[in-house]
Structure 1
Amino acid sequence: MTEHIDSNQINSNLRSRFDYLSKFLNFTSDDIALLNKFAGIILPRVPVVVDAVYRKLLAFDITKQYFLIRNDGFEGHLTKKSSNLTVDSAQMKFRKDMLSIYLKHILTQAEWDDTFLQYLSRIGKMHTDKAGSSSINIDYIHINGLFGFLEHILIDALWTAENVDDKTKYKMFAALNKLFWIQNDFFSMHYLSSWDDSAATNEAEIKKPKHCCF
């Protein structure tokens, strides 16, 4: 039997969009539990993970340029010359802290309620100029590449983890993959004309991130 999906709902309501993606990807509470279990493995290695991510982003001038702009919430010394910018620069340490917080949040979240879905959406929106900051408008190609690179780092870490049987590792790989496809969609929808942001912003107000995490 064919299930009806309301296109207007999935393009204006986060819960409807998530429910559809979850059904399509077979993302269940079991996957969330596996992500929570994976958190215990990866959290001690988060500093190494985020350092690798930002070394990659600084390896290309087209992505490095975004870090020469003062980010909302950052009040420290801003390195403005590209040749002087490193992963140890003040603005990069700020970004690494934000990414660390983000990873801990998405991997330890036990209930994907409406507040959490709004968080995933806001993190995506804040990388565009739709969030009210003209200084941030990152081309989607870089976001897509970042998610792919980050997922591979986490998979590599899981592959070498001890005391985890192969069956559980396989399930964790699948859960991670689903997580990133869902988060990627909650980013990309803010770049699409089909997403009705005006309708989505009428949802209940929650505490919003003050700055982007990447």
Structure 2
Amino acid sequence: MSALYRLKGLEYSYLWNGKQVPVLKGIDLELEKGCFTCIVGPSGTGKTTLLNLLGLIDTPSNGHLEFAGEDVTHLPESEKENVRLHKVGFIFQSFYLIPTLTVLENTSYFLPSLGYNHANAQKVAMETLDLLGLADHAKKKPLELSGGQRQRVAIARAIAKKPAVVLADEPTANLDSVTAEKTINAFKELQKSENTSFIFSTHDSHLVSFAKSVYRMKDGMIDNTKNQEAK
């Protein structure tokens, strides 16, 4: 199977009080297309930063980043936006739902930019909401929902456009065990039907148990790799 990501010596730091603060300290990693991968480790080790680099939200300070066979280390912002729109789905801890839009409108938000007409965008969004058990909430606004329901809307928005990869930061953190199980099954179904790659930052041991590859981060570096058979 061909590589989705190749990272070589990837570093990231930020400026604080006139000094560079290192976050990632030289990541070497290769992730295959169709992967179901978890990145684990204590808070503050750089997991979210790594996802932001993979999603071309942040730019590496040093090193090399390749996505789908293309060097994307220093792409212009306009080209990054195009990659993010067409190929990457994000699930953020903070949801970033638009409060004035309905659940259905939030879910279908990116689809017109991908060439969907209104009817098809609504159809795909409703199918995605139904997959996540949210079809009955389609006309509600985000503030009318619980935290777990809002998390699922954020998930629906990410997967509705059927991206090449979904990057998810603690996607099951706000979900009860039954809902988390259904959500993980939805991820696995999309992985199987669309060959979508999933890369999670997580503390959820249950989600980790479904992963084929688990990478542990410590002090801004990959500490070790554990391979396991996915369920």
TM-score by length of 2: 0.28
- For CA contacts below 8 A with separation 6 or more, give which structure has more relative contact order: 1
Q: Which has the larger helix fraction?
A: 1
Q: Which has the larger strand fraction?
A: 2
